[in-house]
Amino acid sequence: MEFNLKIWRQKNAKDKGHFETYHISGIEEDASFLEMLDILNEQLIREGADPVAVERGCQSSGPVSFDHDCREGICGACSLYIDGRAHGPDDHVTTCQLFMRHFKDGATITVEPWRSAAFPVIKDLVVDRGAFDKILQAGGFISVRTGSAQDANNILISHDKAEESMDAASCVGCGACVATCKNGSAMLFVAARVSSLAVLPQGRLEAKKRAKAMVAKMDELGFGNCTNTRACEMECPKGISVSHIARLNREFLKAKFSD
């Protein structure tokens, strides 16, 4: 297969940035999107190192930087906006689990970084998602010290509650919800964490406090508000439901009323 790739290039946070277009061919249908970018980078490095190619005008900004790691859809590192959709055209996958067979041969594919005020660009397609760490540091945990736990089977949790918690806990922290939200809201991310802990007995004690602290931190870091467009749910690679936002709101309101 072959493609034209229109890719966002930006040297650093201060640079204005621009698109560059590249042509790539010989891509197998079974190649993943990121493998395709690997191949493009090989090509760009070889051209950059080849004086003849450079003379012919093959001057690009060099290999494209993009975050990636596990390539199994679980680490949450990859983060590309492809043809106007977070993680590209396939549903419920991270970019690393997107395969070229989903694209038409010869297509032009536009690739951009997450665009959100809270996620500044580091380089090209790489953004700084440190704000997510900060939100979780504000309260995304159960305050238990190593060694003070009771026997695990002393806490009974119904099968369904455990499954519900697990649904929310599947969040990989990729940031697609923020990138796709017109308000740049992190509500789904926050809700997933709050909800996964709030449905469990271990997490109840701090549920209100947790919701309040995490929402406050989210606001402080420049994420927008939720206006119920549900775009986040559509683009979440793990299919996390907006019903968790409702639970977050409940916990948050309870916290407000008990103030």
Partner 1 sequence: MADKLISKIPDGPLSEKWTKRKSEIHLVSPNNKRKLEIIVVGTGLGGASAAASLGELGYNVKVFCISDSPRRAHSIAAQGGINAAKNYQNDNDSVYRLFYDTIKGGDYRAREANVYRLAEVSNAIIDQCVAQGIPFAREYGGYLANRSFGGVQVSRTFYARGQTGQQLLLGAYAALNRQIAAGTVKSYPRHEMLDVVLIDGEAKGIIARNLANGRIERFGAHAVVIATGGYGNTYFLSTNAMNSNGSAAWQCYKKGAYFANPCFAQIHPTCIPVHGDQQCKLTLMSESLRNDGRIWVPKKKEDVEKLRKHEIKASQIPEEDRDYYLERRYPAFGNLVPRDVASRAAKERCDAGFGVNETGLAVYLDFKDAIERLGHQRVAERYGNLFEMYEKITASSPWEEPMMIYPAIHYTMGGIWVDYDLQTTVPGLFAIGEANFSDHGGNRLGASALMQGLADGYFILPITIGEYLHNKFSAPKTDTNREEFAIAEKAVQERIDRLFSIKGKETVDSLHKELGHIMWEYVGMAREEAGLKKAIVEIQALKKKFYENVCVPGTQFEFNQELEKALRLEDFFEIGELMARDALNRNESCGGHFRVESQTEEGEAKRDDKNFMYVAAWEYKGEGVEPELHKEPLNYEFIEVKTRNYKE
- 159-198 residues in contact with partner 1 (CB under 8 A) are 159, 161-163, 165-166, 169-170, 172-173, 196-197
Q: Stretches 58-66, 178-186, 227-235, 240-248: which one binds partner 1 (CB under 8 A)?
A: 58-66
What are the phi and psi torsion angles at 43 (to 5°)?
-60, -45
Instruction: Give the Cβ contact number of residue 43 at 10 Å.
Output: 19
**Does 63 sit near partner 1 (CB under 8 A)?**
yes
Options 1-9, 40-48, 108-116, 246-254: segment touching partner 1 (CB under 8 A): 40-48
Which is nearer to partner 1, 63 or 89 (by Cβ)? 63
By CB under 8 A, is residue 86 in contact with partner 1?
no
183's CB contacts (< 8 A; 6+ apart) are 224, 225, 226, 227
**Using the rule CB under 8 A, is 71 a contact of partner 1?**
yes
Which residues are CB-neighbours of 23 under 8 A, at least 6 positions away? 2, 3, 4, 5
Sketch the per residue contact string, 87 through 116, with partner 1: x for CB under 8 A, - otherwise.
---x--x---x-x-x---------------
Among 137-145, 183-191, 241-249, 250-258, the segment contacting partner 1 (CB under 8 A): 137-145
Q: Please give the Cα distance from 105 to 2 (Å, whole number).
A: 6
CB of 193 to partner 1, least distance (A): 9
Question: Cβ 181 to partner 1, closest distance in Å?
Answer: 20
What mask, x for binding partner 1 by CB under 8 A, covers residues 202 to 241? xx--------------------------------------
Helices of type H across 80-139: 130-137
- For residue 10 the two structure tokens come to 């930006």
DSSP assigned state of 259: -
Q: Residue 101 carries which side chain, given as an amino acid letter?
A: R
Nearest partner of 24 among 8, 10, 6, judged by Cα: 6
Number of H helices, E strands in the chain: 10, 7
Report the nearest approach of partner 1 to the CB of residue 228 (Å).
27
From residue 235, give the alpha-carbon distance in Å to each of 79, 95, 125, 170. Answer: 12, 11, 18, 14
The piece of 17-25, 27-35, 178-186, 243-251 that touches partner 1 (CB under 8 A) is 27-35
Name the CA radius of gyration of the chain, rounded.
21
Asked if 53 interacts with partner 1 (CB under 8 A), we say no
The region of 43-51, 105-113, 181-189, 247-255 touching partner 1 under the rule CB under 8 A is: 43-51
